Amino acid sequence: MRLTDYTDYSLRVLLYLSVRPSGLSTIQEISDAYGISKNHLMKIVQQLGELGWVETVRGRNGGLRLASRSRELTIGDIVRKTESDFAVVGCFADPEDATRKPCVIQPTCRLRGVLAAARDAFLAELDKHTVGELAHPANDLARLLGIVSIAPVPAGAFVPFRASS
């Protein structure tokens, strides 16, 4: 089974926002990090916002952040919402689709059941993994994406002050 670029980029946006330590991210930052067209990402971010998975803040200092419960989304949830076609072969297609010629062996074909089971197993595996789980270790992913990560300072630790000249 092959996922569309749309789904791939949706997953990448959610992972990027998952490892962002704080604040808002811009579509341009995500575009630069992955080398993906900003125009492609705009449509994706709009849908992720409509689904409630990404919060969008408009205005001059606006941007994006992961919605509070999005780390709990399974990869299967995301794939089901972003893929439009799970017809692995022609006999899974919509029977009303006039562009598809019916398969002559369909009335007795057992291959269809095997392929349906394979598709279901694929989605079942994706359901075992969440965005939050795949975003670990966050610092390693953040570094690869060019996100500056600031390590938290333990309570009571001495942090020397250095005056700038």
Locate the domains of the chain by residue range: 5-144
Residue 74 has what pLDDT?
96
The CATH classification number of 5-144 equals: 1.10.10.10
- State the pLDDT at residue 162: 47
Instruction: Name the percent of the chain lying above pLDDT 70.
Output: 79
SS3 at position 65: strand
pLDDT at position 89 is 67
Identify the pLDDT of residue 161.
46
Higher per-residue pLDDT: 27 or 105: 27
Distance CA 39, CA 41 (A): 5
pLDDT digits (tens, 9 = 90+) for 125-148: 999 999 999 988 888 888 888 887
Per-residue pLDDT, 165: 43
How confident is the model at residue 48, as a pLDDT? 97
Q: Please, what is the average pLDDT of the chain?
A: 84
What are 158's two structure tokens?
Answer: 């001495």
Which sign, positive or negative, has the C-alpha torsion 25, 30, 43, 97? negative
Tokens representing 101? 């010629």
d(CA 76, CA 135): 16
Q: How many residues does the chain have?
A: 165
* Global pTM value: 0.78
Name the residue among 19, 13, 14, 9 with its Cα closest to residue 148.
19
Please give the Cα distance from 7 to 81 (Å, whole number): 9
- Condensed to tens digits (0 to 9), the pLDDT of residues 46-98 reads 999 999 999 998 888 889 999 989 999 999 999 999 988 776 666 666 666 66
